[in-house]
Structure 1
Amino acid sequence: MQPQTIQTETSFQAPTEKRWKVWWNLLRPHTLTAAFVPVFIGTALALYDTSIDWPLFFAMLLASLLIQAATNMINEYYDYKKGLDNEHSVGIGGAIVRHGVKPSTVLQLAFAFFGIATLLGVYICMNSTWWLAAIGTACMAAGYFYTGGPYPIAYTPFGEIVAGFFMGFVIILISFYIQTGTISDTAMLISIPVSILVGAILLANNIRDIVGDEENGRKTVAILLGRKNAILLLAVMFIVSYALIVLFISLGYASFWLLLVFLSVAKPLSAIKGFTNNNSNVTMMPAMVATAKTNTIFGFLLGIGLVIGYFV
């Protein structure tokens, strides 16, 4: 394990015309679909049981986006504090190391987002059940402890599982429950492939960062399996996600319209090819982007299939 440099807090002003972009990149907008997709799918599933309460839908959507954005900011803060990020790091917002935003400002903004999400959660609980307060708190805690605290989840083999569970399974079921007041077998089953693809985003990130993560003492799945086997696992996760949709349709849990997800199959193929043929952080970025887009397009098409299946 390489010695880590503890960073001191610094600040300088980026050019005014770029300030909005600095803050936008800090949100890591390409990851926010991981929050949108589960809410969309959970709500689309609810169509089969009830009419949609749109204020609840938008409250849930905004709360999920805020928690995801706050998690990204906390990730940026702690990776900087632990000396993992610098101005040349790939795949980060770069607000601290490239644009001089104070680390404390980033952390305070993250907690502000958590605060707004909590207020939205109060509204959601008032219109459903207060048991969701505990679940929402657990979601925010998972976001914070992914890179924060004495034993960050990101340093363990459990990052993919935690991300997939909270940002896939849990968010879909909450989105379904606040509309219907219940949980169905179909909602739980449909959440599984989405959860797998959310986890795949983290695995792709960890494949890209194997060298740096290993030097800094992390024990991610990608490091434990090795690069070649980690890419194989990513491929299996893609295959299982698509195969589960076919299985659910064949068992009568879903409409054949969910086969629309196969329109996204070019993205996972591109991701696996990209990781196989490249081995530097920069050249692997397109493969990581393709993995994130797989989750986005797959999830969006899945939701569209559910909506079409309801109306047809």
Structure 2
Amino acid sequence: MQTQMHTNIPPSNLKNWKVWWQLTRPHTLTASFVPVLLGTALALQEAEIHFGLLFAMLIASLLIQAATNMFNEYYDYKHGLDNEESVGIGGAIVRDGIKPKTILNLALALYGISLLIGVYICMSSSWWLALVGLVCMLVGYLYTGGPMPIAYTPFGEIVSGFFMGMIIILISFFIQTGTITPTSILVSFPILILVGAIMLSNNIRDLDGDKEFGRKTLAILLGRNRAIRLLAGMFIISYAWVFILIAMNIISPWLAIVILSAPKAIKATKGFIGKTVPIQMMPAMKATAQTNTIFGFLLSIGLFIGYLL
């Protein structure tokens, strides 16, 4: 059984900006940045871009993602999942001495700022987005909070992919165009998968520890080897989906540029094979997040080039 003991550390360390930056789990922030960029690039075909709404959506999405990560930090500590030996960039409470309540309050403050930004977005587009935004924020909290945390179930990958991938893309598209199109839904699907892949890679790394604490993640239910094969399959489907849309003349052939991100996907998959120690799998986790980032950027670039030509 892990001991949840908060240790005091010198105030100078508490003021270290790197501790606070790591608390946001920066490698996950692209999971919210990329969908906003992609949704806006999709909107180029339909309307003139409103840059005020673009930046507002970008900031709100980043703040909600950072807050979600802080809720994760808080509840992982409360549930005894974090200790001084935990692998990863979490652990600001157990390793850096930040008080749990401080992290919880900061997460709630970021949610509050996001709500204010959301008011501006709704005033400039539709108040129906207020309901969608509140649901997204609730899911962000319930991912690791509440009586039945989503992250502890087999549904973490699909929920995070849907809300942090597809929904953000569609909101970003809607606030620029005032509508949702079949193409916007179809193009958002690979990002749904890749955001889910980030969560799956995290669960593959933490499989043994999560099993010990009674989690029922998809990686635990499948077993390590099948989970790795699923991760590889998610990468393959994401790339194949884009080329199918190109073959059906739904999107521009320029979007085939996403293939340039394939080496990262291969590196991520190979990085998990034969590994059982969490620290050994950190490069594979990083490569999975980078695949989503590069894939999304390249999709956006392809859309932009197709728009210009």
TM-score, length-normalised on structure 1?
0.96
Confirm or deny that 1:108 pairs with 2:105: yes
The verdict on how the C-alpha distance between 1:16 and 1:206 changes in structure 2, with shifts beyond 3 A counting, is: closer
* Residue pair 2:43, 2:177 contacting (<8 A) in 1 also: yes
Q: Which whole-Å CA distance do the structure 2 matches of 1:138 and 1:17 have between them?
A: 33
Q: 1:90 aligns with which of 87, 100, 103?
A: 87
Confirm or deny that 1:27 pairs with 2:18: no
Partner SS for 1:99: coil
- More deviation in 81-90 or 119-128? 81-90
Number of equivalenced pairs: 309
Match of 2:48 in 1: 51
Kindly, what percent of the aligned residue pairs are identical?
Answer: 65
Match of 2:203 in 1: 206
Confirm or deny that 1:194 pairs with 2:188: no
1:188-209 Cα deviation digits (max 9, x unpaired): 0000001000000000000001
Match of 2:298 in 1: 301
* Residue pair 1:31, 1:292 contacting (<8 A) in 2 also: yes
* Residue pair 2:74, 2:100 contacting (<8 A) in 1 also: yes
Q: Which whole-Å CA distance do the structure 2 matches of 1:65 and 1:88 have between them?
A: 28
Q: Which whole-Å CA distance do the structure 1 matches of 2:156 and 2:5 have between them?
A: 27
Counterparts in 2 of 1:211-250, with a 5 A limit? 211-250=208-247
1:236-270 Cα deviation digits (max 9, x unpaired): 00000000000001111110111111001001101
Unmatched runs of 5 consecutive residues or more in structure 2: none
- More deviation in 40-49 or 81-90? 81-90
Aligned-pair Cα RMSD in Å: 1.3
**Residue 102 of structure 1 aligns to which amino acid in structure 2?**
K
* Residue pair 2:13, 2:96 contacting (<8 A) in 1 also: no
TM-score, length-normalised on structure 2?
0.97
Match of 1:144 in 2: 141
**Residue 280 of structure 2 aligns to which amino acid in structure 1?**
T
Q: 1:184 aligns with which of 167, 181, 194?
A: 181
Confirm or deny that 1:284 pairs with 2:281: yes
Unmatched runs of 5 consecutive residues or more in structure 1: none
**Residue 91 of structure 1 aligns to which amino acid in structure 2?**
G
Q: Which whole-Å CA distance do the structure 2 matches of 1:9 and 1:95 have between them?
A: 10
Runs of 4+ in structure 1 over 2 Å off:
7-18
Shift of 1:229: 0.4
**Residue 175 of structure 1 aligns to which amino acid in structure 2?**
S
**Residue 80 of structure 2 aligns to which amino acid in structure 1?**
G
Partner SS for 2:9: coil
* Residue pair 1:22, 1:93 contacting (<8 A) in 2 also: no
Q: Which whole-Å CA distance do the structure 1 matches of 2:45 and 2:140 have between them?
A: 31
Q: Which whole-Å CA distance do the structure 2 matches of 1:18 and 1:8 have between them?
A: 21
